[in-house]
């Protein structure tokens, strides 16, 4: 069992994968999207297929007051498009994915701030943050989902 975390951005879409035991999230790279995160859908599907992902966690960028703005609506559309595209590929037998992974949206408020803090604590210089902050934000998103699932299972 492997989970995929996704941080949608305008320049890059950050990816993180879990270990099979669903304990830790680790960076899995970025996809350059040049202002349109929907360009990343096919590459994300390739990762889902290659890594046998059965659960996808997409960051939902809520506003600080918890309401949804334009970015959150875009994340919802993106996740719906991912789900639809995977279902169409499965129906057409055009991929190795046998079952559509569960796709969940997770509150990602302040994950980029947390990612920058973690990179600084790891002695990554400030100017080197930009290329890796999206995948680190995906790690934060995925790790919070893994920790939440673990707490639900323990309850």
Question: pLDDT of 62-113, one tens digit each?
Answer: 888 888 999 899 999 999 999 999 999 999 988 889 889 999 999 886 566 5
- As for how many domains the chain has, the answer is 1
- Is 9 a residue whose pLDDT tops 50? yes
Bridge partners, 11 (sequence order): none
pTM for the model = 0.85
Q: How confident is the prediction for the chain on average, in pLDDT? A: 86
Distances (CA, A) of 113 to 25, 101, 116, 154: 18, 29, 5, 29
Q: What is the pLDDT of residues 35-49, one digit of tens each?
A: 888 899 999 999 999
53-60 and 25-32 strand pairing: unpaired
What is the domain extent for residue 99? 2-154
CATH number of the domain bearing residue 85: 3.30.420.140
Q: How many CB atoms lie within 10 A of CB 142?
A: 31
Residue 34 is given by DSSP the state T
């Amino acid at each position: 069992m492997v989970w995929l975390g996704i941080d949608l951005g305008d320049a890059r879409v950050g990816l993180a994968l879990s270990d099979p035991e669903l304990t830790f999230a680790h960076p899995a790279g970025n996809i350059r999207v040049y202002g349109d995160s929907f360009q990343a859908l096919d590459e994300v599907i390739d990762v889902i297929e290659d890594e046998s992902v059965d659960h996808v966690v997409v960051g939902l960028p809520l506003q600080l007051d918890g309401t949804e703005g334009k970015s959150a609506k875009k994340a919802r559309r993106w996740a719906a498009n991912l789900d639809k595209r995977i279902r169409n590929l499965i129906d057409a037998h055009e991929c190795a994915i046998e079952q559509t992974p569960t796709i969940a949206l997770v509150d990602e408020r302040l994950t980029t701030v947390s990612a920058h803090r973690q990179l600084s604590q790891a002695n990554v210089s400030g100017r080197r943050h930009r290329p890796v902050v999206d995948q680190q934000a995906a790690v934060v998103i995925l790790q919070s989902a893994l920790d939440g699932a673990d707490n639900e299972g323990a309850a």
